[in-house]
């Protein structure tokens, strides 16, 4: 019998699947996996139904339908003061995950090195490895999680092809500052590198800060694939819709891969989103909406022994549990799910070389207040 040699021999089931299954098994409140437990806008659902009834049910163009590309272009112009060409710089993807994977596949050849910042979302490294690349890790240290750009730059070699960034950051809730972006721009220009920028939480930036997108920095944008998510923005993670913005030369190469990956994306949903995006209030209200959820959970947990670390963006909040247990975070998260009925994500799973002294878990606050209050009532008792 033929023997299959694994392309990802060290990769198992993702922690999100593991913890969600454990939560279901023990009927725990699931604050682990990052998705809302509330529905999307009825208006958006009705728009999908409208376009289905009108017969928009066949293949969409590979790059995306023109009305949606134009709506995205208008949004990019309004938010980031960047004029893009819909047909040449925007591609609709099957979720942000496909966009990130396609961007990495477009860039990486066997032997290429790609710098990844740990803790890193668990898609990046496998995508690099599947394309024959070598992830090179720069490690952020809790609780500040600040990037030392000189130290990161020291990792660049003649084999380095790209840097993957994520802002707002999953899992730590950190956002990159203007100074961070300027340092990144200087580094990639001087060392002739590309960037894959995961910006799926672009509208979830708190405390009156602005999202420092790659799209704000012209020299940086010319070397970047910038990935966004409709799922995270409009509470439709199950629709698997996102998009990539990149300069024409990079977009042309991106689409060569995209066309043989998924080719085209759900047609009536694209038309619905094209129309829905015309009302900018659908996304401009999101920072306040999610900040209130972050603050609600923090208030409910103020009498607990969990200590919050700053969350400046995303819909995740890190909590230190060192006043509760000395167990490693993977064991603590499992115990918390089984004994206390609340599922969380351990932070060390996002590191190649985790700190054994880490006592940090990630909670998702993209939930109803009822869910958050019930979870907090249980966590306060720990």
| pLDDT for 188 beyond 90 | yes
Strand spans (E) along the chain: 29-30, 90-93, 113-118, 134-139, 160-166, 194-198, 224-229, 242-245, 307-308, 316-320, 342-343, 345-346, 360-364
| pLDDT for 36 beyond 90 | yes
| Mean pLDDT on 139-168 | 96
Task: Tell me which of 73-87, 171-185, 345-359 is least confident.
Answer: 345-359
- Per DSSP, the three-state class of 194 is strand
What does the pLDDT read at residue 157?
Answer: 98
What does the pLDDT read at residue 369?
Answer: 97
What are the Cα distances from residue 282, in Å, to 71, 172, 173, 235?
Answer: 13, 26, 22, 11
Write down the pTM of the prediction.
0.96
| pLDDT for 34 beyond 90 | no
- Per DSSP, the three-state class of 89 is helix
Instruction: Enumerate domains of the chain plus CATH numbers.
Output: 15-40+284-379 (3.90.1150.10), 58-279 (3.40.640.10)
Q: Which residue has the tokens 């909406």?
A: 289
Average pLDDT, the chain: 96
Which residues, other chains included, contact 4 with Cβ-Cβ below 8 Å and sequence gap of 6+? none
CB 229 within 8 A of CB 95: yes
CB 126 within 8 A of CB 179: no
| pLDDT for 16 beyond 90 | no
What does the pLDDT read at residue 357?
Answer: 81
Joined together, the tokens standing for residue 319 give: 């909590």
**Ramachandran class of 240: left when φ > 0, alpha when ψ lies in -120 to 50, beta otherwise:** left
| Mean pLDDT on 205-213 | 97
Residues above pLDDT 70, as percent of the chain: 100
| pLDDT for 264 beyond 90 | yes
Joined together, the tokens standing for residue 131 give: 């394309």
């Amino acid at each position: 019998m033929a023997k299959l040699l694994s392309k990802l021999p060290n990769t198992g089931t993702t922690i999100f699947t593991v913890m969600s299954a454990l939560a279901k098994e023990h009927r725990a409140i699931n604050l682990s996996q990052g998705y809302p437990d509330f529905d999307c806008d009825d208006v958006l659902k009705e728009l999908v139904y409208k376009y289905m009834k009108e017969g928009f049910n066949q293949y969409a163009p590979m790059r995306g339908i023109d009305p949606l590309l134009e709506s995205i272009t208008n949004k990019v112009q309004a938010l980031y003061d960047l004029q893009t060409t819909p047909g040449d710089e925007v591609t609709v993807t099957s979720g942000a995950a496909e966009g990130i994977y396609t961007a990495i596949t477009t860039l990486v050849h066997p032997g290429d090195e790609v710098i990844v910042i740990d803790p890193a979302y668990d898609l990046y490294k496998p995508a690099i490895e599947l394309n024959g690349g070598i992830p090179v890790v720069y490690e952020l240290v809790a609780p500040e999680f600040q990037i030392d750009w000189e130290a990161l730059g020291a990792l660049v070699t003649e084999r380095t092809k790209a840097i993957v960034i994520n802002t707002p950051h999953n899992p730590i809730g950190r956002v990159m500052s203007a100074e961070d972006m300027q340092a990144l721009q200087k580094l990639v220009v001087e060392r002739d590198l590309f960037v894959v920028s995961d910006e799926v939480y672009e509208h979830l930036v708190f405390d009156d800060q602005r999202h420092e997108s790659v799209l704000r920095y012209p020299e940086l944008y010319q070397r970047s694939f910038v990935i966004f998510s409709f799922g995270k923005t409009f509470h439709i993670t199950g629709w698997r819709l996102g998009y990539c913005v990149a300069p024409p030369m990079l977009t042309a190469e991106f689409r060569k891969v995209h066309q043989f990956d998924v080719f085209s994306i759900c047609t009536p949903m694209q038309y619905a989103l094209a129309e829905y995006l015309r009302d900018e209030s659908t996304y401009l209200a999101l920072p306040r909406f999610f900040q209130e959820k972050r603050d609600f959970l923090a208030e409910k947990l103020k009498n607990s022994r969990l200590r919050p670390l700053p969350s400046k963006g995303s819909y995740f909040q890190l909590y230190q549990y060192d006043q509760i247990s000395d167990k490693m975070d993977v064991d603590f998260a499992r115990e918390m799910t089984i004994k206390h009925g609340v599922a969380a994500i351990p932070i060390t799973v996002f590191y190649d070389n985790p700190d054994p002294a880490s006592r940090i878990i990630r909670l998702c606050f993209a939930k109803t207040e009822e869910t958050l209050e019930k979870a907090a009532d249980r966590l306060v008792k720990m």
